[in-house]
Chains A and B, each alone.
Chain A
Amino acid sequence: MEYFLQQLINGLTLGAIYGLIAIGYTMVYGIIGMINFAHGDVFMIGAFIAIIAFALVWTTGLASIPLAILLVLVVTMIFTAAYGWAVERIAYRPLRGSFRLAPLISAIGMSIFLQNYVQLLQGARIKPLPPLISGGVILTEGNGFAVQLNYTQMIIIVVTVLLMAAFTLVITRTALGRAQRACEQDRGMAALLGIDVDRTISLTFVMGAALAAVAGLMFALYYGVVDFFIGFLAGLKAFTAAVLGGIGSLPGAMLGGILIGLIEAFWSGYFSVEYKDVAAFSILVLVLIFRPTGLLGRPEVEKV
């Protein structure tokens, strides 16, 4: 039971990170119908910017850790958002109206480019982030096994919940969110009604990248190491999460993220660590075969 509880906590933490990345996939898919293959690498860039920002904050000698994390969070979100914007502007915008697979191929190219860009600039070796926050709360203890909730895990879950709340407010209550929902339903009609579609799409990428940046920061805090290749697997799993929850659906992305996180944690806890990625991909295949719309997605009607 204690072991189960510990895996549950680990899975939720992991799921929060996947969920934040998955939102970027699902928003972009909802609005322009493409899989932003480079999103995982934007997440990786977010993680790198986060550790660079931490190193900078250290040199200024800031003592308060909560303040440092907040500062790093804001800096990381801003600079990663610039990457999200630039990726869309360079690799996807010129391709609107091109043939169906063109944006996906361009996105794969962008993903390869970003990985090697970071590898060239920052080196191929693993970058460590010394643990900032140590300790945690021991929830229960029994059978010689203590269930621990780290402070890091707490921060990850709390920040994710707060961000999700803020994000839902933006989508449902603001003019930008209304424009995004309008573009999702019918881009041509939205343009006719005076919505700047290009700007809305750009902002969608910016928001997705900012959330991925938060996920990158949390990844760096949680695992303590970052390298240029983390975006590939994390991106693939987050995409699986978006599909599982129903691509295009925002609550679905979060739900899918948490489910994937739990599956991964329990699989590695009870079966085998080596095959945890196989578990995630098998779920993706099974979902696509038996329920292509995902858990919360709307069925897609194909029009001639």
Chain B
Amino acid sequence: MALAEPRPPAGMAILPVLRDALAAGFVALALALPMIGFETVDVSGGGLGLETRFGAVAVAVVTVMVGRIALSLIAHGAAVPVLAVSVTVTGFALYRAIGGDTVSGLVGVAAAVLSIRAAIAAWRGLPWPADARLVVPPAVVGLRRALPAAFLALALVFPFLPFVDQRVLDIAILVLTYVMLGWGLNIVVGLAGLLDLGYVAFYAVGAYTFGILADSAGFSFWMALPLGGLLAALFGILLGFPVLRLRGDYLAIVTLGFGEIIRIVLLNWYEVTGGPNGISSIPRPSFFGMPFRASANEGETTFADFFGLEFSPMHRVIFLYFIILAMALVVNAFTRRIRRMPVGRAWEALREDEIACRSLGINPTNTKLSAFAIGAGFAGFAGCFFAARQGFISPESFTFIESAVILAIVVLGGMGSQLGIVLAAIVLIGLPEFLRELNQFRMLAFGAGMVGIMVWRPLGLLAHREPTIRLHPPRGTESRGAEGRGAEGRGAGQ
């Protein structure tokens, strides 16, 4: 498993490899026998019956043993043949999986992971000249600089592309909601280094603020939006003030507990929140007071009438898309600016070394509190939007798994990277929406992905954890001033 196993000079002993594979197979057998080997089934009469699946156990054990041998081979320099075989197996297994064979599919995924692993080893093993360094050609650097702008341009014209129908646009809105949440959580986790496992609680506060105000006082989306954000930020301060003195992992658990408390309160406070039934018929956002409806009420002009368009339900979806796009971009711009300000720098410094910060006169509690409250506020805004888009909210939408998904987006994207979060949200939220058949494996892959990212690339797929500012900028970037833009261009910011 270790990435940097030293390579022995030549040849390999077969016996230790086989012993290693046997041990792995034995453990796999112990793991698979009870859980895969037997399936509990309900029997009529309230008893408990068992069905056996020993074939699947055998497949699992053999897969693990073969994989283990292949890993040993890679470590001994035989990456290319392993790559050839594993790619073949991947193709064959996935071909069979299309026919509806789950076991083949899982074997295919295992073989695919192995192929990636072998490909990396083979790439590293190529006979590079001794003085070769990875020189990025200027064109690629320019392309990378242009990537955020290209994404932005694509996002702006996206609703008008020919292949975009309502379903695709709905998915895009969902992805953008998660991008916004990811960017908001990134302030807390990526910049300030505080692990918040209850982020969804602030999202819920925002959503319920709008829901309750709309239900009882007839507030519109635009009136409730600032209140939702402010109230969520206030909750962030109330929670953060006592607990932000805690060490990182305690903080994580307390925020998790807080998220559950909010959910349980929402579930049981029937008079206000409607309990498990939630709040329905929340009004949709209007365009400067003009509703998106086929026919106007007394004294109103609909959006379509005002612009002389023919009414289409797509108008509202496109409008929602641009609202969430604008909101997400505000969060992004805010983050980029505040990283250059003293408080943003204090966040990053605090993430790296709290004791040093304290001795330099930074007040850790206030600094953390500001990050926590700002992150919570953005979640509140996103929550308001969520309520307006769905028209219906219930505690079901605000479970721990939702917090974990947002955290996974931030972690996968590379903590601190703005662009990485966009890519991660597309991969984690957008793709599964298109692959509905694979939905049951989605969360499984999610969990495995989080472990895999931490084990192989702890800093995320895209980013390196670069400070925004350096005391001694690397050579070649001084000419651009002390802002350390060079470091940013390498993926720390967008």
Interface residue ranges, A against B (CB under 8 Å)? 34-35, 45, 48-49, 51-56, 58-59, 78-79, 82-83, 85-86, 90-91, 94-95, 98-106, 108-118, 120-123, 125, 127-130, 232, 236, 239-240, 243, 274-275, 277-278, 281-282, 284-285, 288-289, 292, 302, 304
Contact = CB atoms under 8 A, between A and B. Distances in A.
A56 to B, nearest CB: 7
B34 A95 contact: no
B264 interface: yes
A236 B34 contact: no
Interface stretch (B42-50, B130-138, B216-224): B42-50
Given A82-B31, A113-B448, A122-B35, 6 more contacts: A59-B50, A108-B407, A113-B446, A122-B39, A123-B39, A292-B250
B48 A129 contact: yes
Contact of A105 (B246, B265, B411): B411
B455 A91 contact: yes
A236 B248 contact: no
B258 A112 contact: no
B451 A106 contact: yes
B257 interface: yes
A52 B34 contact: yes
B246 A288 contact: yes
Given A52-B50, A91-B455, A95-B454, A35 B34 contact: no
B440 interface: yes
Interface of B: 1-2, 27, 30-31, 33-36, 38-40, 42, 46-50, 193, 195, 197, 242-243, 246, 248-250, 252-254, 256-258, 260-261, 264-265, 267-268, 355, 400-401, 404, 407-408, 411, 440-441, 443-444, 446-455, 458
A292 B264 CA distance: 25
A82 B27 CA distance: 7
B264 A98 contact: no
B154 to A, nearest CB: 30
Nearest to B446: A112
Contacts of A104: 195, 248-249, 252
A113 B441 contact: no
A113 B458 contact: no
14 contacts: A48-B34, A48-B35, A79-B31, A79-B34, A99-B458, A100-B248, A101-B249, A102-B454, A109-B449, A110-B447, A110-B451, A120-B441, A240-B257, A243-B250
A108 B452 CA distance: 12
Contacts of B446: 109, 112-113, 116
Contacts of B448: 109, 113
B264 A285 contact: no
Please provide the 10 A-B residue pairs with the shortest distance between their CB atoms, ordered closest to farther.
A109-B450, A113-B447, A112-B447, A281-B257, A82-B30, A106-B454, A109-B451, A116-B444, A274-B268, A116-B443
Nearest to A286: B242
A60 B193 CA distance: 55
Contacts of A116: 443-444, 446-447
Contacts of A100: 248-249
Given A94-B1, A112-B446, A288-B250, A304 B258 contact: no
A130 B248 contact: no
B407 A105 contact: yes
Contacts of B38: 52, 55-56
A277 B253 CA distance: 14
Given A54-B48, A289-B243, A304-B355, A109 B454 contact: yes
B254 A232 contact: no
